[in-house]
Amino acid sequence: MSGLLEVNGLTKRFGEFTAVDGIDFSVGRGEVLGFLGPNGAGKTTAMRMVTGYLPPTAGTATVAGFDVRTQAIEVKRRVGYLPEGAPLYDDMTPSELLAFVSDVRGISGAARKQAIERSAERINIGHVMHQPIGTLSKGYKRRVGIAQAILHDPDVLILDEPTDGLDPNQKHEVRNLINEMATDKVIVISTHILEEVDVVCTRAIVIAAGKIVADGTPQELEARSSYHNAVSLRAAALPASLTGKLESLSGVAKIEAGSAENGQSTITIFPVGGAAILDPVSACLKEAGVAAEEIHVERGRLDEVFRNVTRTA
């Protein structure tokens, strides 16, 4: 492996309980990695180790070649971190908090002013910069947390549940920001929201019971779904003989009937091994004289893949 972020055999035990169990992955510049898993899977613990906030029991993690255990300061210079829950100082204003973080990071003078203005503008918190953080909504607190994470323009950005508590418009803004920043950074998003993977991630890792159970692009993970290349159709009338004709096609594994609405019926035709079956299905419909009002090919369903890989962990 040779990425800006390297994780090898990373393990964390709390007494007899193993929260993270020997995980390995590498992330290169320009990648947005979705780190997925059910509650208690070890996501947050892994992120805390990668950022140097929690020492590993075993294994290593490096950022730009610097070891999180022995070179923690160098790692933290290159990492921006939004922790779970975005803990902040309620009695400070966002302006004061960002000034404090600038001081801690050694950003001073004109560079300090520019960094604060840039991060506030990018995350759209300019109008609340002088309001006490304790009076802000959960969504705005989250945005202030993101602002401090990007303040020093880090090489590696670790975001634990970045859109938690945000309304749909705010989620859209944050996702756009992630896409804008992704070209020259490593961005790792710890989340349980599968929608995030489709919208911003170039790759996803699924962790369950402390172990990595899946790793691939969203398209590769979708290809593991039984719905990958399945054909769903809706029509006003589906003759009883159609099911038998479709089942006789060599590439068809099974057929499931959907709910009938407004006098129309729906069915889904599942392929064998994810093969493309649209052409033979369309030909079969034409031969049977069925005019489909809607027909589409499924990409695959991440929620199904997520359930399958985490249930067997």
Is the dihedral angle over the CA atoms 152, 157, 159, 162 positive or is it negative?
positive
| CATH number for position 173 | 3.40.50.300
Query: Do 218 and 243 belong to one domain?
Result: no
State the pLDDT at residue 313.
64
Per-10-residue mean pLDDT, the chain, length 313: 86 96 96 93 93 94 95 94 87 97 95 96 94 93 93 95 84 88 92 86 95 96 95 86 90 86 84 94 90 91 94 75
Q: Retrieve residue 32's tokens.
A: 């947005």
C-alpha–C-alpha distance, residues 87 and 82, integer Å: 9
Count the domains in the chain.
2
Residue 207 falls inside a structural domain: yes
Is the dihedral angle over the CA atoms 185, 190, 192, 193 positive or is it negative?
negative
Q: Retrieve residue 138's tokens.
A: 């959960």
CB 143 within 8 A of CB 167: no
Query: Do 173 and 271 belong to one domain?
Result: no
Angle value at C-alpha 51, between 1 and 177, nearest 5 degrees: 90
Question: Among 188, 222, 256, where does a domain finish?
Answer: 222
| CATH number for position 293 | 3.30.70.1340
Query: Do 60 and 118 belong to one domain?
Result: yes
Residue-number span of the structural domain to which 267 is assigned: 231-297
Q: Which residue has the tokens 């029509």?
A: 235
State the pLDDT at residue 2.
61
Query: Do 168 and 235 belong to one domain?
Result: no
Residue 93 is which amino acid? T
C-alpha–C-alpha distance, residues 205 and 219, integer Å: 13
Query: Do 194 and 291 belong to one domain?
Result: no
Query: Do 207 and 239 belong to one domain?
Result: no
Angle value at C-alpha 21, between 6 and 69, nearest 5 degrees: 45
- Helix (H) or strand (E) holding 62, with range, is strand 58-63
Query: Do 41 and 176 belong to one domain?
Result: yes
Query: Do 251 and 204 belong to one domain?
Result: no
